Structure 1
Amino acid sequence: MSANNSIAINTGVVSTTTKLLPRVQYEHMVAGVAGGVAPTLILHPFDLVKIRLAVNDGQLAVRPRYDGLVNTVATIVRQEGVTGLYRGVTPNCVGAGAAWGLYFLFYNTIKSHMTAARGSDASGGGLGAGRHMLAAAMAGCVTTTLTNPIWVVKTQMCLQYGTVTPAGLPTAQPSNGMLNVLTNIYRREGVVGLYRGYLPGILNVSHGALQFMAYEELKRFYTEYYELSANEKLDTGAYLCCAALSKLFAVTITYPQQLLRARLQDQHSSYKGLLDVIKRTWRYEGVRGYYKGLLPNLIKVTPACALTFVVYEHSINFLLNK
């Protein structure tokens, strides 16, 4: 075969791939949104408890004092009712859907370019751990930049505390909706207010990079161990185990970054920046202060992540087959 023919064939392959790419991106985004919203809606109370424990630094009298997971849940229900456990659920679902949808969209797009550049198969099976981490980190940076305002709104809605009468009974408190909170933040602080906690959010990109790297490597190990093809669909149990283990691995390493981000986004605090949060947390709470809320976070994010990846994997297989 001549060199000219070879070039023509290669150009045709790239052209076909480029034409097919938007359809694949769209399917990954839809599957990611579906995978993000479902577990977030179910497990939101754990997320709220994690946030309240994370900002519970003992330096402000405006918020209730919490002592552990069970006490936090009991206090919230006593002071705010059961609905208090669902404060911020709307921006949480919107944020989770947007974040997972965009993340899978960008992650798979970047992987597609990497595999095309290396000449490996389209599934990404030819990429090593380093390239999976790089693709996840790049996708995380873009996703964090686009969704940070939603997470600021969610955090501040989760920190709308109910007021209590002298008898210890909760009083009625009007709920500030997502759009109202977003507008108020913009009026008070401008665009800067919508990007509170952005720096630790960018630093937390390492969380997604570690998680996706571990997930891809666990799937690769599973397929090789059972001698399956790289494109073969795994069973639900395999997806659950790979997702849960990868999440536990990433959370344990990167949780302090999430805590710092939550404290910066807290409307009741007056931290001057990331370095100030780090110093004051160390001064008043020590090392343990960086891991406040870790247990409810693990209880929430591990099954949530497992469900997200299971829903995503089955959704994307369905969409691609259709």
Structure 2
Amino acid sequence: MKIPDLSNYDHLIGGFCGGVTSTVACHPFDLLKIRFSANEGHALRPQYTSYLDAVRKIVKVEGIRGLYQGWTPSLIGASISWGLYFQWYNSLRKYLNENLSTGSEMVNNLISGCVTGSAIMCITNPIWLTKTRLCLQYENQQAKKYSGMLDCMRQTVRQEGIPGLYRGFVTGVIGTTHGAVQIAAYSWMVDKRCAARGLPNNSFLSQTDYVVASSTSKILATTITFPYQVLRTRMQDHNTDYRGVWKTTLRTVQNEGIAGLWKGCLIANIRQLPSAVITFLTYENVKRLVGMTKNQK
């Protein structure tokens, strides 16, 4: 049976599969990152002495499924985001390289990443908001406020209006610099590796090359841009009343110092590093398989 030519959607399909795979494998790390980023010491939250202590307390009360709170919006959001991101980013990057001379391919990569990320954030912010709120339903609370993703959206709209679904949107747009730095650094390293091996751009490299490029670019992007994740998490948290990027920043720094802006950065790197490697490895391999459907006889 002839397989349809899907090569025009290789980035979309590869990114979709990468988002699904990484979420299934790494969601518990994401939950821990969100909880540590949101924790300003308020008595309503369970206080964890370490990441291992958090896992023990969550599992003791809610079982293993407690580590997968917010899994549904995470799965939906990651698959849509990565699929659209790779497809739109590569299309825009190609257009800029062919039609707009900025004098630097890295600049074109950063522009492509920021524009693409901002467009996708307009679509996915409500999904990420529900993920954050579901992840912040603690095991020490007698009753859970939300029963699931759709219930969270319904209650948010009823209590806060449609704008409530876009809490944290500004920090999310600022956070597109994270994706832009990551994808720009990744693309640059892959292109340089292709050149070093005498191969044209977009050639299929070894798995080791992709692991090195994805892990290095992710650590760089996460560490540099992490404060936006803390601010966004706190602004989306239904347990507190953080509002406004500037006010949230000042409140965090005044109460916890500059280091408060990097709360959860370690677990973010621990979580996002394997997630990035899984996402990009899956993306590159699925993209290659999809590309093989072109011009089949």
User: TM-score under structure 1 normalisation?
Assistant: 0.84
C-alpha distance in structure 1 between counterparts of 2:144 and 2:111, whole Å: 46
- State the Cα distance separating 1:72 from its structure 2 match: 1.8
Cα deviation for residue 108 of structure 1 reads 1.5
**Which string of whole-angstrom CA distances, capped at 9 and with x for unpartnered residues, describes residues 148-176 of structure 1?**
00000000000111236xxxxxx786961
RCO higher in structure (CA 8 A, sep ≥6): 2
- On the 8 A contact 1:115/1:127 being kept in 2, the answer is no
| Aligned equivalents of 2:184, 2:269: Cα separation in 1 | 19
Whether 2:97 is the aligned partner of 1:94: answer no
Question: Does structure 1 conserve the Cα–Cα contact (< 8 Å) formed by 2:26 and 2:271?
Answer: yes
The alignment partner of 2:226 has SS state of: helix
Quick check: 1:51–1:158 contact (8 Å CA) kept in 2? yes
Unaligned runs of 5+ in 1: 1-21, 120-125, 165-170
Distance 1:226 1:270, change over 3 A: same
2:204 matches 1:221: no
Q: CA deviation at 1:298?
A: 0.7
Larger Cα-atom Rg? 1
- The amino acid of 1:239's aligned partner reads Y
1:101-250 aligned at under 5 Å gives the runs 101-117=83-99, 128-163=105-140, 176-250=147-221
Shift, 1:272, TM fit: 2.6
Alignment TM-score, normalising by the size of structure 2: 0.91
- Relative distance call for 1:147 and 1:303 in structure 2 (3 A) is same
CA contact under 8 A between 1:29 and 1:102: conserved in structure 2? yes
Contact 2:137/2:145, CA 8 A, preserved across alignment: no
Aligned in 2, Cα 1:105/1:25: closer, same or farther, shift over 3 Å? farther
Q: Which residue of 1 aligns with 2:54?
A: 72
* Secondary structure at 1:227 match in 2: coil
Query: Does structure 2 conserve the Cα–Cα contact (< 8 Å) formed by 1:47 and 1:297?
Result: yes
In 1, Cα distance between the equivalents of 2:241 and 2:136?
15
Structure 1's 197 and 231: CA in aligned 2 closer, same or farther, altered over 3 A?
closer
* CA shift digits 1:170-202 (9 cap, x unpaired): x78696111111111111111111001001101
1:118 shift after superposition:
5.9
Report if aligned partners of 2:97, 2:108 keep a CA contact under 8 Å in 1: no
Distance change in 2, residues 1:112/1:226 (3 Å): closer
- Aligned twin of 1:7: none
Structure 2: stretches of 5+ with no match in the other structure: none
Count of matched residue positions in the alignment of Structure 1 and Structure 2? 288
Per-residue Cα deviation, 1:121-164 (whole angstroms, up to 9, x for no partner):
xxxxx971111111111101101111000000000000111236
- Determine the C-alpha separation between the residues in 2 that align with 1:199 and 1:33: 25
Q: Using the alignment, how far apart are the partners of 1:293 and 1:186 within structure 2? A: 29
Distance 1:206 1:82 in 2: 34
User: What CA distance in whole angstroms lies between the structure 1 residues aligned with 2:189 and 2:28?
Assistant: 30
How far apart, in 1, do the equivalents of 2:178 and 2:44 lie? 32
Instruction: Compare 220-229 and 198-207 and name the one that shifted more.
Output: 220-229
Match of residue 283 from structure 2: 312
Deviations 1:186-237 (A, max 9, x none): 1111111100100110111111111111101111221222333324210111
Superposition deviation, residue 116 in structure 1 = 3.7
Deviation at 1:78, TM superposition (A): 2.4
Which residue of 246, 250, 259 maps to 1:275? 246
Cα distance in structure 2, aligned partners of 1:133 and 1:62: 40
1:172–1:265 CA distance, 2 compared to 1 (3 A): closer
Mark the CA change 1:144 to 1:175 in structure 2 (over 3 Å): closer, same or farther: closer
Rounded Cα–Cα distance in structure 1 between residues aligned with 2:258 and 2:59? 29
